[in-house]
Structure 1
Amino acid sequence: PVRIVVRRPPPPDRVVIRVRAPEPRAATRDEDAPRLVLGAGIGPMFVLGADSVVPVGHAHVGLALGQVEFGLRLGLAPYAASLSNVDGEPTDTGLYTTDATFTYRFLPDADLHPILGAGLGAVIAAPSGAPPSAGFGVSLRAGLELGVDLPDAGELGVGLDAIGTQVVGAEAGFPWALATSLTVGAHLDWRF
């Protein structure tokens, strides 16, 4: 006689896949707190109406909360253009800008941040031998900034940006050849 033994195969192994969403990064106290921003920069200023390119320096102070910053910027171009005075003689004219700007830093978890801002401010033309005159202008700012964390000292921001300024209204005597300018430059900001 032949004996046949039938066995059931063992049940298949049960595979359980558990997917855990990464826990959100806990914001540190420093990221939630307002930060003071101090900075400076330099670069060429293209004075579009006067066909002039001059070096300009700027100083910057601001208050940052998260990715948004409110800043005050002062630009100094003591020899922005050589314009004709009332008598038709060439006169060196300085151009000084001061503006209040809101700037947003994109990609908060990255090291390289695109930046975009807009502001309102004053443009002051100071011809040598004549009283200065002021204009009211708008400005746009765009650029890239590399954020470097400093242990126990905040953050250092090194970047390249372009700032366009357009005067939209001015007092009598303002040289309208200086009404449109574009500054391209490098800046260094310290956030603490």
Structure 2
Amino acid sequence: TRTIKIPTSYLNTLPQTIPDATLIRTGDNASVYVTAGGARIPFTTETELTQAGYDITHTVKIPTTHMNTLPTEPADGTLVRTGPDPTVYLLAGGAKLTVPTVTDLTDAGYDITHTVTTPTTWTNQLPTTPRNGTLVRGPGTTQTWLVTNATRTPTTPTTDAHIVPLTAATLAAIPIAG
């Protein structure tokens, strides 16, 4: 076996995360996942993978130890869609929020080209309201809202709080408490 020395300075320039929309699997498992928002999202069948527009021959094998470190919930602000369905969802607090137009996304600072096609079975099981404790904000405002029991109330977050930017329409879909 021949060992090739690679400078640490070069290794430090390589990405530390797997890019979104990458098909991954481990060498000892037939399950295939797509990456979205830093997470691994499972396909239930090869047919579902194909219907999502992916080619199974483009799957990247990664070590099981690395696979096991990947979360199963994408980061807030991840954009997803399913197969041929043009509906785009903005993920926030574990929920999928329907985005009515590309303009809404752009106004909230998102880029539609960063949408990941995810498995239909996975996407369909997501709730439609962010979990309790999620902090959200609409475009063009400093008003922050706290989601509790499928409603929102105004709040003043701490300076290091994680706030999910929503589109005007997705924010309006969460009723104000009271």
Determine which structure has the larger strand proportion and give its number.
Answer: 1
Tell me which interval the TM-score lies in, with the shorter structure as reference length. Answer: under 0.3
Structure with the greater alpha carbon radius of gyration:
1
Q: TM-score, normalised to structure 2's length? A: 0.25
Higher relative contact order (CA 8 A, sep 6+): 1
TM-score (norm 1): 0.23
More helix by share: 2
